[in-house]
Amino acid sequence: MRRLIAAALLLLPLAACGAQAAPGAAAASLVWAIETQPITLNPQQWAQNKVRLLVFNQFDALLSRAADGSFHPWLAKAWQVSADGRTYTLDLREDVTFHDGTRFDAAAVKANLDQFQVPGYNAAVAAIQLHAFDRAEVTGPYRLRITLKEPDALFLDFLASPYAGQVSPKSLKNAKDLKFGGPDLVGTGPFILDRYVQGQEIHYRRNPAYAWPPAGAAHQGPAHLAEITYRFLGEAAVRVGALTSGQVQVIEGVPATEVALIRKDPRLTLKTSLNSGTAYSYYFNTDHPPFDDRRVREAFRAAVDVDAVLKAVYQGTATRAWSIVGQKSPFYDASLEGSFGGDAAKANALLDAAGWTGRDAEGYRTKDGRRLTVREVASAPFVRDRRDVLSQAVQAQVKQRAGIDFQVRILDQGAAQKALDDGAYELFGNSRGDSDAGAALNLILPAGAAINRTHFKDPRVDRWLAAASATSDQAERKDLYVKAQRAAVRENAVVFPLYVPADQIAAHGSVQGLGFDPASGTPASAYDVRTGT
Amino acid sequence: MIKRLATGLGVLWAAATAAYLALLLAPGDTVDILVGDGPDTPEIRARIVAEWGLDRPEIVQYLSYLWRLLHGDLGRSYQLQRGVGEILAGQAGPTAQLTLAAAGAGILLAGIVAVGTAGRGRWWRGAASAAELVSVSVPPFLIGIVLLTVFSFTLGWFPVSGAEGVRALVLPALALGLPLAGVLGQVLRGGLERALEQPFAVTARARGLTERALVVRHALRHALIPAVTMAGWFIGTLLGGAVITEVLFGRPGLGQVATQAVSGRDLPVVMAVVLLSAVVYVAVSTLLDLAYRLIDPRIRG
């Protein structure tokens, strides 16, 4: 019986996935289990960082972006920015065709840019990423001039983002579900989307004509894989089981609890990459007590032993954050390292000084008979990476070490938004996956900015961020962003950085060429992926 | 028959209205949902309000919702930006398959175990009863993980995910059907045992009928009414179980559409799922009525 089971163990995983898994053979197809279901497959509607890997299978952007923040050619082979920062001239590749056979040219790029001006197409992108956009003019078959209303350092980042994924103008007109995308929304990418089953899988086949990979790709010409299937497996334990039993060859989203298991298995490989954008941080609401007092904000940070908390929750797989901006970003300010956290004595001294000297029956600090209570509001659909457990660990620490009553409320999106609108919170957690951390800072720090939920106001910071947006000199931008980070993290203590979000890929040893998108740190498209040794 | 139809329509209208009111009264508003986690400025909000017609009075929005419903137009999903009818059409099939298979598996298992153990010795009954208790009280999520670990990851007999072919249906149907089998088995055995103590059973035994034949030919009919009532109620709840099962097994279906829609407050999709469940309830209760008449001739009339 035992031998029978052993034999079954060896044979059946192979049988289960049929021809796809024959190791060593010229297996040119792959099954990859992913965690997140796409809300949309239209790159210009893209909102989930975790589906970048799908977007860039089917679509190419105009530029590509390297890990150091520099820009490189993709569908645009060259570009020039005028001295006043308001005119961009793009020279396009002349050998590119869409999957539907239509030619990629300057008129197509203009059609894509103009699409964002259609009311109701993508209000958020029109108002944020394209706020400075004025007009695009075709000045030659493969040459285009874009005029901005004002200089915008983030415009190049837009050209390198999924939003600049080029869609065939014909399909922009004819697609059945334009905003959702799907097989009839056509791109120029290395793979052609040919099947999508909501809740189950998405299937691509190779684009045999592909010859225009972004700078930095590991090879030229068509993709190695003839086809690739992404299965949606939302449950982490099921993804890992599917991988170890050979039913899928690659998974992303490996929970901390399974990392050791995968590292121990000699047949499997594990890669991780920090995400770009902002670190997962707590932001303090400085609008009302108790966090209107800088000493209380600092005391909260000092009360938490962040290393111990991260170790307990993520079993040593999380990277501690020291600033709003994550370590992956070229704008990260390393001088903030070691500047806060893990000092209970300091926390208590600060709270004493701030007047929270009383204690109630449950051991919480009080002032004028009021308990030192702070509330976190979180929206359930955006709670990931066990952030609820992280909150509980922080809750235990601030209670034990400083007598702070930290209440964690996880609500549905409508209720959470209402609490945020009403200011019924003292603390909220947030991370952003922007490939340019400056974009996130613009949304978080300036007075009255879209997600300035700290109500932090500092005219200097507003000036620095505006200046950084107006220049495309990367060194100058870094100087300005460093100043802004120091003001928010060290001088004003309005933010409590916790950890830098990361992505993981686990795969069978026979799968080569897996990697991460240098701009975002999330898994890259399947263009360079191959099987066999 | 016309009365039944009218009642059915009334139930549907009540369900649609209740869902509408519940979502209207819940905290936060629709614009918040559509803004999502993204940037949030007055300009973006204004554009969204105009695009979705959210500036009209609520009563107008409600009436136009009912009007469109009457014309078979379920509206567009806020989250997925597609027609709701189209989303559900693609997902209803796999869910129907799953719930029917689960109901079939549950009823079959319950029938076999109950008929096999009714009136048997204490040990048999105890074992069956314990198994039934476990299958009812363990969450379907856990049953699913255990089934996957044993039969998919370790033995490799069944694929982990997908909705193609019968093999992919076995584990999810079992995960969903086992609690049904547990509840039904208990009720059915109780009914059988009560029937076996009735005077007609004594008469039948006296005529020389074997115990097995007695159970199958006579007692079963008596035990079926409470079991069918129970099964009807349980089949109505299968959609709830399908939510977990579909996500776990990576299957397409209404369950995962519904969870996504509820947590994202995707109004049109939530309403459509509520309506669809109401349709299922009406259909199941109608079928139950028919079933009673078939089982017990005294109800016919």
Residue predicted with more confidence, A98 or B203: A98
| Residue-level pLDDT at B39 | 58
pLDDT value at A44 more than 90: yes
Reported in sequence order, the residue ranges of A368-440 that DSSP labels E, i.e. its strands, are 370-371, 373-379, 405-411, 427-430
pLDDT above 90 covers a percentage of chain A that reads: 73
pLDDT value at A101 more than 90: yes
Q: Which H or E run contains A80?
A: strand A76-81
Rounded Cα–Cα distance for residues A318 and A320 (Å): 6
pLDDT value at A180 more than 80: yes
* Mean of pLDDT values over A97-108: 96
Q: Output helix, strand, coil percentages for chain A, rounded to the nearest 5.
A: 35, 25, 45
Establish, for the pair of chains A and B, how many residue pairs have beta carbons separated by less than 8 Å: 173
Please, are residues A305 and A313 in contact by the beta-carbon 8 Å criterion?
no
Contact criterion met (CB < 8 Å) for B44 and A177? no
User: Which of B152, B169, B267 has the most A C-beta neighbours within 10 Å, making it the best mutation to test the interface with A?
Assistant: B152
Q: Considering only CB atoms, which chain B residues are within 8 Å of A443?
A: 39
| Residue-level pLDDT at A365 | 96
Contact criterion met (CB < 8 Å) for B47 and A33? no
* Mean of pLDDT values over A495-511: 95
Q: Which residues pair with A72 in a beta bridge?
A: A64
Contact criterion met (CB < 8 Å) for B37 and A198? no
- CATH, domain range A280-500: 3.10.105.10
pLDDT digits (tens, 9 = 90+) for A383-417: 778 899 999 999 999 999 999 999 999 887 778 88
pLDDT value at A10 more than 60: no
Contact criterion met (CB < 8 Å) for A241 and B51? no
Residue predicted with more confidence, B188 or A492: A492
Closest alpha carbon within chain A to B149: A241
Q: Considering only CB atoms, which chain A residues are within 8 Å of B38?
A: 47, 124
Scanning A260-299 for CB atoms below 8 A from B yields none
Q: Considering only CB atoms, which chain A residues are within 8 Å of B262?
A: 412
Say if B85 is an interface residue toward chain A (CB within 8 Å): no
- Candidates A471, A393, A519; CA nearest to A150 is A471
Quickly list DSSP for A81-112: E-TTS-EEEEEE-SS-B-TTSPBP-HHHHHHH
Smallest Cβ distance to B44: which of A33, A40, A123?
A123
Say if A177 is an interface residue toward chain B (CB within 8 Å): yes
The mean pLDDT value of chain A amounts to: 90
Closest alpha carbon within chain A to B167: A16
Question: What is the nearest CA distance from A476 to chain B, expressed in angstroms?
Answer: 26
| Residue-level pLDDT at A249 | 96
| Residue-level pLDDT at A25 | 41
Contact criterion met (CB < 8 Å) for B162 and A201? yes
Say if A6 is an interface residue toward chain B (CB within 8 Å): no
Rounded Cα–Cα distance for residues B113 and B116 (Å): 5
Reading the block at residue A502, the tokens are: 């990361």
Please, are residues A433 and A151 in contact by the beta-carbon 8 Å criterion?
no
Question: What is the nearest CA distance from A267 to chain B, expressed in angstroms?
Answer: 16
Question: What is the nearest CA distance from B30 to chain A, expressed in angstroms?
Answer: 8
Q: Which residues pair with A312 in a beta bridge?
A: none
Omega cis (within 30) before B94: no
Domain boundaries, chain A: 3-272+503-531, 280-500
Please, are residues A254 and B273 in contact by the beta-carbon 8 Å criterion?
no
pLDDT value at A1 more than 60: no
Contact criterion met (CB < 8 Å) for A180 and B80? yes
Cβ-based burial of A520 (10 A; exposed 0-12, middle 13-18, buried ≥19): buried
Q: Which residues pair with A271 in a beta bridge?
A: A505
**Which value does ipTM take for this structure?**
0.77
Contact criterion met (CB < 8 Å) for A451 and B39? yes
Smallest Cβ distance to A382: which of B37, B82, B250?
B37
Residue predicted with more confidence, B38 or A201: A201
Say if B93 is an interface residue toward chain A (CB within 8 Å): no
| Residue-level pLDDT at A58 | 97
Reading the block at residue A388, the tokens are: 């609820």
| Residue-level pLDDT at A381 | 67
Q: Which H or E run contains B263?
A: helix B254-263
Scanning A61-120 for CB atoms below 8 A from B yields 119-120
Contact criterion met (CB < 8 Å) for B155 and A9? yes
pLDDT value at A15 more than 60: no
User: Which of B34, B37, B88 has the most A C-beta neighbours within 10 Å, making it the best mutation to test the interface with A?
Assistant: B37
Contact criterion met (CB < 8 Å) for A245 and B90? no
Say if A382 is an interface residue toward chain B (CB within 8 Å): yes
For each successive 10 residues of chain B (301 residues), what is the average pLDDT?
77 81 70 64 74 77 81 77 82 86 89 79 82 84 89 88 78 89 85 80 78 76 77 73 83 82 75 81 79 73 49
Rounded Cα–Cα distance for residues A462 and A445 (Å): 8
| Residue-level pLDDT at B214 | 77
Name the pLDDT band for A9 (thresholds 50, 70, 90). Answer: very low
pLDDT above 70 covers a percentage of chain A that reads: 95
* Mean of pLDDT values over A300-310: 95
Question: What is the nearest CA distance from A220 to chain B, expressed in angstroms?
Answer: 34
Contact criterion met (CB < 8 Å) for B156 and A15? yes
pLDDT digits (tens, 9 = 90+) for B198-247: 788 778 877 877 777 777 777 777 777 777 777 777 777 777 778 778 88
CATH classification (class only), A3-272+503-531? alpha beta
| Residue-level pLDDT at B38 | 58
Closest alpha carbon within chain A to B156: A12
Contact criterion met (CB < 8 Å) for A245 and B26? no
Number of other residues whose CB lies within 10 A of the CB of residue A475: 8
| The residue to which tokens 């090879």 are assigned | A219
| Residue-level pLDDT at B37 | 57
Against a cut of 0.90, is the pTM above it? no
Contact criterion met (CB < 8 Å) for B252 and A199? yes
Alpha carbons within 13 A on the beta-carbon side of B231: 28
Residue predicted with more confidence, B162 or A35: A35
Alpha carbons within 13 A on the beta-carbon side of B133: 6
Contact criterion met (CB < 8 Å) for A415 and B27? yes
pLDDT digits (tens, 9 = 90+) for A53-96: 999 999 999 999 998 889 999 999 999 999 999 999 999 999 99
pLDDT value at A155 more than 90: yes
Rounded Cα–Cα distance for residues A482 and A479 (Å): 5
Scanning B114-173 for CB atoms below 8 A from A yields 145, 148-149, 152-157, 159-163
Q: Considering only CB atoms, which chain B residues are within 8 Å of A154?
A: none
Q: Considering only CB atoms, which chain B residues are within 8 Å of A379?
A: 37
Rounded Cα–Cα distance for residues A121 and A179 (Å): 7
Q: Considering only CB atoms, which chain A residues are within 8 Å of B27?
A: 414-415, 418-419
